[in-house]
Structures are given as C-alpha cells and as structure tokens.
Structure 1
Amino acid sequence: MTSQFLWVIFPYLCIAVFIVGHIFRYRHDQFGWTAKSSEFIEKKQLMIGSLLFHIGIFPVILGHVAGLGIPKEWTRAMGVSDHMYHIGAVWGGGFFGVVTLVGMIILTSRRFTNSNVRHLSSASDLIVNSFLLFIVFIGVYSSLITNTTTPGFDYRSTISIWFRSLLIFQPQAEFMASVPIAFKLHILTGFLIFAMWPFTRLVHVWSVPLNYVGRSYILYRKDKRD
C-alpha cells in the first residue's frame, strides 16, 4: 500500500495540484505572478548565482528528459552503448549538476543571510529555495555517488520504465522497489515542488518573455553609482 501511494497516487496527485493550482491562480491572481525583484538590494550574488544556475539547469533538464523518456533500446539502435551512455550521464550530468548546485547555494545563501533580501522574502520564498537546494543536492549526490557505488543499479531499467508507465496511465510501482534511497528522495521532492509551484513565486517562470528564450546571457540593470 505504501509503495502504491508513493509511486502511483502521490505523483498523480502532485501533477493534478500543479495543473489545477495554475488554473486557479491564473483566474484569481494574474497580477501576483510576477516575483518581487530583490535586484536593487543586492546584485553581485544574484548575478553570479543566477548565471550559474541557468547555465547548469537547462542541460540538467534535457538530461532528465532524455534519461527518463528515451528507452535504452533506442540509444543502442543509434550506436550508443550502455557504457557510453552511463559515462555521459554520470559525468556530463554530474558536471552540470554541480554548476547548478553552486548557483543554488549562492542564491539560497543570499536569501537567508542578506537581511534586506530576507526581509523582502516571504515564507514560501524561503521554503522554495530550501527545497530546490535539497533537490539539486540530492540529484548531484545520486548521479556522482550513488550511481558509482551501487553496482548493478541502472535507473533506465527501473526509474525510467516506472516514469514512462505513469505517462501512459499504466503505473508499475514495482520498478521502484530496488531503487536506492537517494534517487527516491530526489523523485519525491521533485514531485512535491511541482505541487507547490502554483502557490509560490515559481509561477513567474511562465511570464518570462519569449524573446529571452535562447539567450546565453542574463541582463541585469546597472546602477549609475557602480
């Protein structure tokens, strides 16, 4: 019963809250979507942390999409052996994961230790930052440590199959039975942040202008006094 709740009911519940929550907030709080900017309070840490986070997070997201969505039979058919894929996933994903983690550490430290930034932050801001930091940390730990210290474990033969079974509404919770605890924590907290998303400043992601997509840099206002 616990397995069914964690790997079937909980994921679907989180996604349902994600969708319904966004619809509700859009209908009743459109003007609250834009996040309060703390750029004018402190810029240096914001610029460095945000830049590192964005440099790392996009390859990490693409890696998750490929690892969870593409069966190993497909990559083999393209001439990519399981060993080659594993090396690329562990070290390539690990590198960009570390870059993302450093960015999140800087951003989270800034929000908690800078008194002015913290004063501007709501309780949900602090919770979201802490959750994101943990999710990124446990993801990096899973990639670099758990993957290399758990012989015989292959997330594409367990987590990926389970995830794709959710997408086609034929959930197979049994594939998560042998998954190491670090991966399980990463997955569960990942779904939880999706459930929290509509009720936090994370919704401002959907308000970013389309012309920002594809930029390899982030613009920051420059104070004339600098």
Structure 2
Amino acid sequence: MHTLIWVVVPYACLAVFVAGHVWRWRHDQFGWTTHTSQILENRLLRLGSPLFHLGAFGVIAGHAMGLLIPESLTAAIGVDEHTYHLVSVSGGVVTGVMLVAGLALLIARRFVSGRIRRVTTTMDKVLYVALTAMVVLGMSGTVVINLFGEGYNYRETISVWFRGVFWFRPDPALMADAPLVFQLHAIGGFLFLALWPFTRLVHVWSAPLAYLWRPYVVYRGRRTPAPAPQPAPAALRVVEPATPDTTAPRSAEPATTVKS
C-alpha cells in the first residue's frame, strides 16, 4: 500500500500532468485562457485577484525552498535549523493568509454575483474545491503543527522523498511516520498536478514574458502638415433639392387673338 501511494500515484499524476497539457494544447487552444470575468464583476476581483496571486507566488516559493533545497546546503552556508524554521513559518503564515483571503474573495464573488455564477463551469467548481482543500491542509500543517504545535521537520523526510521522486529513487518509508496532515498535503499536491491541465490554470504557461525583452515600438512624429479632414460619409449622402434651370429656353406660348 505504501508503494502504491508514495510511488505509483506520484508518477501517474506526473504522467497525466504532461500528457494532459499536450492534449489540451492540441485540441483546445481556444480554451487556453484565463476565462476572465472582469467585465462581469470587478469590485471583488480587483481586491481578491492580487491577494490570491501574490499569496500563491509566495507559497510556491516557500515550497520550492523547503522541498528542493537540502538541509545540508542551508547548514553549510550558516543557516541553522531554528533560523530556517523561524523564517519559513513566518513567511508561510503571511503568504498563507494572503492566499486564504484572496481565495475566499474569489469564491465569494462566484456566489454573490449572479452573472458570475451563471458562467462558472463544473471544472471551475472542482478547481475551487481542490484549491480550498490544499490551502486548508497546508495552513493546518504550518499553523497548527509548526507554529502552535510541537513542530515537524519535514526536510528530513518529506523533502527527501519528494526529491527522490524526480531522481527516480523514491523511498516510501520516509513518509510512514509523517503526520497525517503532511501526508495528505503531499499526496494532494500530486493529485492537484493531475487536475491542472484540465482547468483554467493552464494560462500560467502563457505568461507574456516576451514583453520583457521585445524591442521598443518607435513612434515618429509627422513632418508634413496633416491633411485636411475629409467630410463625414453622412454629409456626402445628403442630396440637395434641385433648383430650376433659368438658362434653358422657354417653350413658345400659343398666340391669342383679340377681336375688335
């Protein structure tokens, strides 16, 4: 059972993640968008979207540091475990609160606004449920266990197992003694990756990064005088009333005779 959960399921989810994106790109390029609904409702979106995205970027960066950077590397540069734990928990709480607030606002606008509710698809609902589950599990591990609880050093177990998946050497025994909330969060992360290609999240890979290095657009001033404005088409369609032609010869009138 451990091999199925911690070895087979992660690789199956990664395979779906890759194959799903290929299928989506080949068969649904017109749907490869954010499906933005800003034109329908902007008040809650204007606040919820920045909070959600900034919080998500912070959470992803924190996960990358905790899962990909070995504990031996941070120790080698002089960062002890207590300092790392303090920084990671503080950053995780701040970015997590931003993510929770933004996600709550985005979900609320789906119920508050009737127009937004009518354009919400089934896959959108599944995505919001999955995001909520991942956020609740992640915040539970950060706040309940690592902030107010006894703490758990996931860098010695979960991080090693996670890197082993990508090195094709996963060790399921490392996950045996991890707290349940961390186990659910870890396997939920791979299941979330399997869901990713079939949702609006594919727009992440279409970020307009080319704008950062594209050449400037040069606008040159006009050296010659501007042409005279042309009359509007409606003015050209106005037909003036015809005037009588006074130059044309008049027809001869019949002669009249007067009897004396």
**TM-score when normalising by structure 1:** 0.88
Report the counterpart of residue 68 of structure 2 in structure 1.
Answer: 69
Corresponding residue for 1:82? 81
Tell me the residue number matched to 1:93.
92
Secondary structure of the residue aligned to 1:41 is coil
Kept after mapping to 2: 8 A contact 1:108/1:133: no
Moved more, 153-162 or 34-43: 34-43
For residues 152 and 42 of structure 1, the distance between their equivalents in structure 2, rounded to whole angstroms, comes to 42
* Aligned partner letter, 1:28: H
Structure 1 residue 114: deviation in Å? Answer: 2.2
Is the Cα–Cα contact under 8 Å of residues 91 and 144 in structure 1 kept in the other structure?
A: no
Within 5 Å, give how 1:26-41 maps onto structure 2: 26-41=25-40
Query: What is aligned with 1:159?
Result: 158
- In the alignment, the residues of structure 1 paired with residue 40 and residue 67 of structure 2 have an alpha-carbon distance, to the nearest angstrom, of 40
Secondary structure of 1:121's partner?
A: coil
Q: Secondary structure in 1 aligned to 2:182? A: helix
Residue 80 of structure 1, CA deviation: 0.4
**Partners in 1 of 2:43 and 2:32 — Cα distance?**
25
- Once the two structures are superposed, residues 29-69 of structure 1 have per-residue CA deviations (whole angstroms, 9 ceiling, x without a partner) of 11111132211111011111111112211121111111001
Identical counterparts, % of pairs: 45
SS at match of 2:30: helix
What's 1:24 paired with? Answer: 23
Instruction: Say which is worse superposed, 98-107 or 180-189, in terms of deviation.
Output: 180-189
2:145 and 2:152 in contact (8 A); partners too:
no
**Which ranges in structure 1 are unaligned for 5 or more consecutive residues?**
214-226
* Structure 2 Cα separation of the partners of residues 172 and 113 of structure 1: 46
User: How far, CA to CA, are the matches of 1:36 and 1:91 in structure 2?
Assistant: 34
Count residues in correspondence: 212
2:56 maps to amino acid: I
Per-residue CA deviation, residues 75-121 of structure 1 (Å, 9 max, x unaligned), is: 01111010000111111111111111111111112123322111101
Task: Give the direction of change, closer, same or farther, for the CA distance of 1:148–1:36 in structure 2 (3 Å limit).
Answer: closer
SS of equivalent residue, structure 1 residue 90: helix
CA distance in 1, matches of 2:153, 2:4: 23
In 1, Cα distance between equivalents of 2:211 and 2:205: 12
Gaps of 5+ in 2: 213-260
Task: Give deviations 1:155-212, integer Å, cap 9, x for gaps.
Answer: 0011001101111001101111111111122122221111011111111222221157
